[in-house]
Amino acid sequence: IMPSLVGSEMCIRDRNTVIPTPQGRVNNLRITDTDFGLGPKNAKVVIVEYASLTCGHCSEFHNGVLPKLKKEFVKTGKVRYIYRDFPLDRFALAAAMVARCADKDNFFGFIDTFYRVQSQWAKAADPISALNKLARLGGMDQNTFNQCLINKDIQESILNQRLEAVNNFDVRSTPTVFINGDQYSGGMALKQFQKIIRDKLS
């Protein structure tokens, strides 16, 4: 599945300021306490992202756009951000499993690291070995790493989340972002995200 950077309805001539029409809408994204989130639960705006840890466009979003959105909106209590896995291949699935095997306080640290050095581990001759090295740097011991990759419960949880996204929320590519239920491509520019969020906050 190849991500779509720009929706067909977006005006190419000025993608930094033109706001695309939502590609769809979901009234109930079924957010629960089991979701991995940042920001207050009662925030006026909720962003739910579906991403794959081996997706290049997801890496661009996480390294270039999301940190600025977190600083402006999440850390100031205006937005709640939810991250959900949508693995596109077995290595993305393995990385997602490893992140979940870290304790919940370290989950986003692992996710951020995997995206920041994605080109190093995902394109390595042995991606699992490269993941292992990153996990050790993050404080995960070898036994925990080994047991994590054979944990069927975690694997099924991730794959069920992906299946739900396809069947119930019409997610077809990564990154896909829902902002208060409105569906957008995660390939939008920072200014576009800011405009959409500010409009929903007003």
Mean pLDDT for the chain overall: 92
User: At residue 13, does pLDDT exceed 50?
Assistant: no
The percent of residues above 70 in pLDDT, for the chain, comes to 92
Please state, as a whole number, how many other Cβ atoms lie within 10 Å of the Cβ of residue 97.
21
Q: Helix count (H) and strand count (E) of the chain?
A: 9, 6
Average pLDDT of the residues in 99-120: 96
Q: Could you tell me which of 66, 23, 19 has the C-alpha nearest to residue 47? A: 66
User: At residue 2, does pLDDT exceed 50?
Assistant: no
Provide the 3-class DSSP secondary structure of residue 74: helix
Average pLDDT of the residues in 37-50: 97
| Structure-derived torsion over alpha carbons of residues 136, 39, 20, 199, reported in degrees to the nearest 10 | -160
- The pLDDT, as a whole number, for residue 20 is 85
User: At residue 19, does pLDDT exceed 90?
Assistant: no
Whole-number Å distance between alpha carbons of 17 and 116? 27
User: At residue 8, does pLDDT exceed 80?
Assistant: no
Whole-number Å distance between alpha carbons of 197 and 121? 33
Provide the 3-class DSSP secondary structure of residue 115: helix
pLDDT digits (tens, 9 = 90+) for 152-175: 999 999 999 999 999 999 999 999
Average pLDDT of the residues in 41-61: 97
Whole-number Å distance between alpha carbons of 189 and 69? 11
- The pLDDT, as a whole number, for residue 18 is 85
Instruction: Provide the token pair at 192.
Output: 């576009």
pTM: 0.90
Residue 32 has what DSSP assignment? -
